[in-house]
Every structure is written in structure tokens, then in C-alpha cells.
Amino acid sequence: MKITRKWAMPNKWTFTMKPIKELLERYVGDGTGWVDPFAGNNSPAKIRNDINKDCNAQSNMKAIPFLEQFEESSLKGILLDPPYSPRQISEHYKKAGLKPSQWETSSGWGAKIKDLTASRVQLGGIVICFGWNSMGLGKNRGFELIEVLLVPHGGAHNDTIVTVERKINFK
């Protein structure tokens, strides 16, 4: 398992930060077969969704019903760059003219997103998670960790932490 640490200025558009952009180029290529339920504006995935209609995405669903549309074990790769905290969830929903339920700002919501992601990726497929921890989907969902990228931003900022995992088991 490879761990790398590369500094970058903080940016709310995660995928514009140079070390992250470079990692995505290595794994996602032209984006064929890749799905991004939280696409924002800079996702290389071919199939993109974002709750906010102003974002660069083909659909504007909530992430859970969006992921539920795909057949189990059908996708080559999924990018998971959701809001990183309950506060960020509330801010993103507000921008989209919505209000999150209590459950949508809980850890149960994050776990449901990970469960669905794990089930939709094919065996050998890749999931890349972004956030403030390196948990990713984990062994219990059938994944092995193949790469971690730490992106420190200086000052009091949290690092952005990227995990790259491969599906090795059906759970």
C-alpha cells in the first residue's frame, strides 16, 4: 500500500488541487464507466450527479436514489467526494434550496452511501474517497486499500485525505 503526502492550497473544488487532479488522471482516465454522485464542477467521471442544478452534472438527484438506480456490481469505479461535515451538508443543501433531514446529517447517512457504493462497484473495481479521514469503505465492505494521498494545506486547515480502494470480495 502506497502513502504519499503532497501540499496544496485549500480549494472547495477538491478535484482542482494539483496532487488530487494528478491522482484522478492516473485512475479515472477518460472517465468511462466511472460514476460520481457528488460531482460538483470538476469531476472526470462520465456519469455525474449533483444535488445542485448549477453544477456540471447530467442529473440533480440526492446521492442515495441516484446510486440505487445502478445494478449491483455494474460499475468500474465511483468517486465519493461528499460534504465532509454536518455543517457542510447543511450549507450545500441550502445552496440547492433544500434542508437536510436529521438523518442526512448523521453518520448513518454516510454509512448508507458507502454501503450502496460498495454494492454497485464490480469486483476489481475502484472507489476513491475524499474527506478528513482515511476510513474509505473498508475491509468489512469487501475492499482492500491500495493507495492513500494526504494533502496538507497549512495553518489550521484539515488535510484532505484521499483513499483508493479495490473491491476484492462480495459482502
Ligand X SMILES: C[S@@+](CC[C@H](N)C(=O)[O-])C[C@H]1O[C@@H](n2cnc3c(N)ncnc32)[C@H](O)[C@@H]1O
Site of interaction with ligand X (CB under 6 A): 13-16, 37-38, 40-43, 50-52, 55, 62-63, 81-83, 92, 96
Residue placing its CB nearer to ligand X in the complex, 31 or 142: 31
**Is the Cα torsion angle 43, 48, 51, 54 positive or negative in sign?**
positive
59 burial (CB, 10 Å; 0-12 / 13-18 / 19+) is middle
Nearest of 63, 76, 73 to residue 29 by alpha carbon: 76
* Residue closest to ligand X (Cβ): 40
- Min dist. Cβ of residue 40 to ligand X (A): 3
Rounded CA-CA distance 113/68 in Å is 10
Between 142 and 160, whose beta carbon lies closer to ligand X? Answer: 160
Among residues 81 and 147, whose Cβ is nearest to ligand X? 81
In angstroms, give the least distance from the CB of 21 to ligand X.
Answer: 9
